[in-house]
Amino acid sequence: MDRRVIQLAKKESIRIIRQAGQIAKNKFDNLVDIRSKGDSGDVVTEVDHMAEEIIINHIQSLFPDHQIHSEEAGLIGTPSDWQWLIDPLDGTNNFAIGLPIFTTSITLMYRKAPVLGVIYEPWTDRLFVSALNEGASCNDRPIHMKHSPNFLKGNIGWIQGHKVQNDPKAVILRQHIDVSFKRMLRLWAPTLQWCMLAKGDLDGIVLYNSEGDDLYSGVLMVKEAGGSVIDFEGIPFEGMSEEPYLIACHPDHKHDLLKIVKQGLHQ
């Protein structure tokens, strides 16, 4: 793996993600085109396509041999060790109803493992960056996972895939987590929840079958901030998964959170 590729990708991702994010900020609460997407209630806006286009064009101009997978455009290019994952507007449903909880996410994968994650929250002008073995930062300041002295009174983020809907097991687990902690948050902007966890604003995340272009930048962010990401069997999560069921938190709390998840799954 060529670290020079990662460093150039990091520099250029920071530059282009700010441009894409500014498009979203300028268009916020002033949308013209909102369309339904699939059967799960998801939507797509003109901002998704505008931001996506500017990011894809920039990446293709610099890394023509890299493959790209983007939320709206799908798969672009031939197979490569290097693959970019782009979510031009994570939190589109929030954006469409005038709720300023959304981000743009760019991930660089090497042989199906994340090596760079850049997430920009334009409304607050917060730029989160993580690179493999280089740590994580928010607006150039290092961020670290929080150890909570009273974990069971903490705040846990819940993330589920659009296709999960009201799956009975997911509903029961979600309710169990909700009553087991101080607060359970469902932001419908997964990358922002991962960043909140990495920054110490959340105490944990439970992810139920939510794979996509918005996953791996967040996973890398938490790991590089010192967090633990495991599956529902307690096995460290590496690489990619088509149906991920994940737990993320400070390493000192992973057994407690895993125990609560298992309780919820066996009710």
Residue 46 labelled as part of a binding site: no
DSSP 57-97: HHHHHH-TTSEEEETTTEEESS--SEEEEEEEEETHHHHHT
Please name which of 147, 141, 146 lies closest in space to residue 128, comparing C-alpha atoms.
141
Q: What's the rounded Cα separation, in Å, for the pair 205 and 193?
A: 8
Contacts for 220 with CB less than 8 Å, ≥ 6 apart: 107, 114, 115, 116, 117, 130, 132, 136
**Does the CA dihedral 124-51-188-244 come out positive or negative?**
negative
Residue 89 labelled as part of a binding site: yes
Residue 48 labelled as part of a binding site: no
Give phi and psi for 167, each to the nearest 5. -50, 125
Q: In what order do the strands lie in the sheet with 113-121?
A: 74-76, 67-70, 82-90, 103-110, 113-121, 126-131, 135-138, 141-142
Residue 214 labelled as part of a binding site: yes
Q: Which parts are annotated binding residues for Mg(2+)?
A: 71, 87, 89-90, 214
Q: Which parts are annotated binding residues?
A: 71, 87, 89-90, 214
